[in-house]
Structure 1
Amino acid sequence: MVQSYALLVVGFVLLVFGGDYLIKGGSRLSALLGVSPLLIGLGIAAFGTSAPEAAVSIKAAISGHSAVSIGNILGSNIANIGLAIGLALLVFGIKETHRQIWKESVFGLLATLLLLTLSVAAFSRYGDYGLNTVGGFILLFFFAGYLYYLFRMSVSDKKKSRDEEQEVIENRPLEYVKSSAMTIGGIAGVIFGGSFVVDNAVAIAQSWGVSETLISVTIVALGTSLPEIVVSVMAVRKNHWDMALGNILGSNLFNILFVLGTTATIKPMEFSAFHSMVLPDLLIALGITLLLFFIVIQKKRSGSALWKSRMQGLVLLLTYAAYMVFAIIRK
């Protein structure tokens, strides 16, 4: 048991230092590539920190546990917004956001609606709620469209930052290596750190006699979201709000479009407890994404005072707390 406590500490250390290196490396890469920190958050950081969700969900679905797979994705997406963004808003506040960030929040809404539509369409055609191979390919098709959008965004950003790009061109080869190493090392740190924290927190909780139900809806549910939470809070602490929001929204899109799309094409997913388990989580994920959309739109139009921003963070946190209570009661 002493080993579990030691590894738990190691996990938190890896999370903190990994998040710090990821933000430093990502911000330097954005300057070198001539793109905004938002794009780094939407792409590299989001896809990298979503690795735990991808591994857990694909493994669960292939093993015949589709409910675990979809539950992990939706629970993670809810935690990403309610806990990560809510905590960052409450502690640090935000006055304004990147001009493009509202589009990503719209994409998040559309992706969740698409998942709901495909699940219901499968029932109307085959008599079972779920995601079949066709549904998986549809999700992957939209993911390809999202990648194309990121590519177009990067081209646009480069055109706008040619002057700044010239300032670092002399050190570019070495800077590319250093920044890429920091970014990749940071991603590895938050992934392994999150794994250490979850595994050993579960072992410690079990030794205290905590029920498996409570563990599953708290520690395990939060575990796969730890990388996104840590990276987002660290980004905000360094005043990189665009990277934090990009990381969360990009991660949520990656979870639905790529992870579930890939999973369904490998093995069709049947949601056996759709009305009692999947549908409520889908609606909550849709609602909390809509709430974030309104927050982003408000800041895009007029900005807001820090106290108002912190109140919005509190609302997101309370929404997530209510979801956790609901999940425990439902279990």
Structure 2
Amino acid sequence: MVYLLLLIGFGLLIKGADYFIDGSSNIAALFRVPPLIVGLTIVAFGTGAPEATVSIIAALEGNADVTIGNIVGSNLLNMSLVVGVTAAIFPLAVERPTIKKEIPFAFLATVALLVVMSDRALQFTNENFITRSDGIIFLLFFAIFLYYVIEAARNSREEEIGESKNIDQTGGWGKSILITIGGLAAIVLGGYLVVESSTDIALRFGMSETLVGLTIVAIGSSLPELITSITAAMKQQSEIALGNIVGSSIFNVLFVLGVASIISPLPVNDKLFFDIFVLLVLTIILFIFSRTHYKVKKYEGMALTIFYIIYLIYIIIRN
């Protein structure tokens, strides 16, 4: 039964992503909002819903290793495998705001996470915790990010986006909203089924909670980002693809961890410090790749994919 649920989850993810990209692209055109902004908000928060669901449920159940491991693992996967596979299929065009603001903001969010989880080094305590006050700080950072995105949307709304390609505007508001909500619901449900069934399978094989969070749960809950970004790239909506990846990474740290740590303070496994440093390095690499002709090329995408495979092998051996 658990394997059947896994297959159903994959099917919902793939079909939901297709509808979700079409609907959100239409909304972007109808609102006269650049696809990048939609990628950073509607698409990023929508595809981040499985991470939010899993992490908050894990926090309620007291499984901090799954909560933090899921977020760190998902962001690692986003910055390497999701960008890598998507760029390998179709080179990702990068908007200037993404290089100047969004990627640096994602880097800042990761640095903030490293700081708040370093209680033993900075405050000389016995344990490292992400506390409720840390969670409030994360949510304040998230509010700043939302303010930036809203202002960017307001400033660009009056600009014409008539040259946008492959956007079907014949359905109008009702059809676009219905397709977007339906696609999002399929993504969330599919992601939930994949995460729950894959976690059950992994625990049966004796994997630790930290490893499950960094691998099975992270991969499962990041499938919406992967499927959505690949779908967006194939539809030549690369602004949505990269905006989805970067926006989802910011959403994961600032909102999901913020809410989860307010629900229940989260003890930090020491092994996760290495993974945080790897995430910082990956963010810098993505920034450098994005600077080369404002495009993440195919060979750069393949390099990121190989990087993730090596990292995955290492953490499996480490555990």
TM-score (norm 2): 0.89
Q: Of residues 281, 284, 288 in structure 2, which corresponds to 1:287? A: 281
Aligned to 1:32: 30
What are the Cα deviations for residues 165-212 of structure 1, in whole angstroms up to 9, with x where unaligned? Answer: 9xxxxx99x722211111111111122222333444566778xx8554
Q: Give the secondary-structure state (helix, strand or coil) at the position aligned to 1:48.
A: helix
Aligned-residue offset at 1:107: 0.7
Equivalent-residue separation in structure 1 for 2:306 and 2:283 (angstroms): 14
Alignment-mate amino acid for residue 314 of structure 2: F
1:266 is the counterpart of 2:260: no
Aligned to 1:131: 130
What are the Cα deviations for residues 28-51 of structure 1, in whole angstroms up to 9, with x where unaligned? Answer: 000011101111110011111111
Provide the aligned C-alpha RMSD in A: 2.6
Q: Retained in 2: the 8 A contact 1:42–1:243?
A: yes
What are the Cα deviations for residues 287-312 of structure 1, in whole angstroms up to 9, with x where unaligned? Answer: 11111111112233xx57xxxx1110
Matches within 5 A, 1:55-204: 55-94=53-92, 96-102=93-99, 103-121=101-119, 124-125=122-123, 127=125, 128-161=127-160, 175-201=172-198
Equivalent-residue separation in structure 2 for 1:162 and 1:84 (angstroms): 27
Q: Give the secondary-structure state (helix, strand or coil) at the position aligned to 1:35.
A: coil
**Deviant stretches of 4+, over 6 Å:** 162-165, 203-206
Q: Retained in 1: the 8 A contact 2:202–2:216?
A: no
Q: Give the secondary-structure state (helix, strand or coil) at the position aligned to 1:24.
A: helix
Equivalent-residue separation in structure 2 for 1:320 and 1:219 (angstroms): 14
Q: Retained in 2: the 8 A contact 1:105–1:293?
A: yes
Aligned to 2:216: 219
Equivalent-residue separation in structure 1 for 2:131 and 2:314 (angstroms): 29
Equivalent-residue separation in structure 2 for 1:199 and 1:158 (angstroms): 40
Aligned-residue offset at 1:118: 1.7
Aligned-residue offset at 1:119: 1.8
1:322 is the counterpart of 2:319: no
Number of residue-to-residue matches in the alignment: 312
Aligned-residue offset at 1:280: 0.7
Equivalent-residue separation in structure 1 for 2:266 and 2:96 (angstroms): 37
Larger CA Rg, structure 1 vs 2: 1
Percent identity over paired residues: 38
TM-score (norm 1): 0.86
Alignment-mate amino acid for residue 20 of structure 1: D
Q: Retained in 2: the 8 A contact 1:213–1:328?
A: no
Alignment-mate amino acid for residue 314 of structure 1: M
Aligned to 2:248: 251
Aligned to 2:21: 23
Equivalent-residue separation in structure 2 for 1:282 and 1:5 (angstroms): 32
Aligned-residue offset at 1:23: 0.6
Q: Retained in 2: the 8 A contact 1:54–1:255?
A: yes
Q: Retained in 1: the 8 A contact 2:215–2:312?
A: yes
Alignment-mate amino acid for residue 33 of structure 2: V
Equivalent-residue separation in structure 2 for 1:40 and 1:232 (angstroms): 13
Q: Give the secondary-structure state (helix, strand or coil) at the position aligned to 1:179.
A: helix
Could you tell me which runs of 5 or more consecutive residues in structure 2 were left unpaired when the two chains were aligned: none
What are the Cα deviations for residues 87-143 of structure 1, in whole angstroms up to 9, with x where unaligned? Answer: 01112223x322211121111101001111122257533613221222111111110
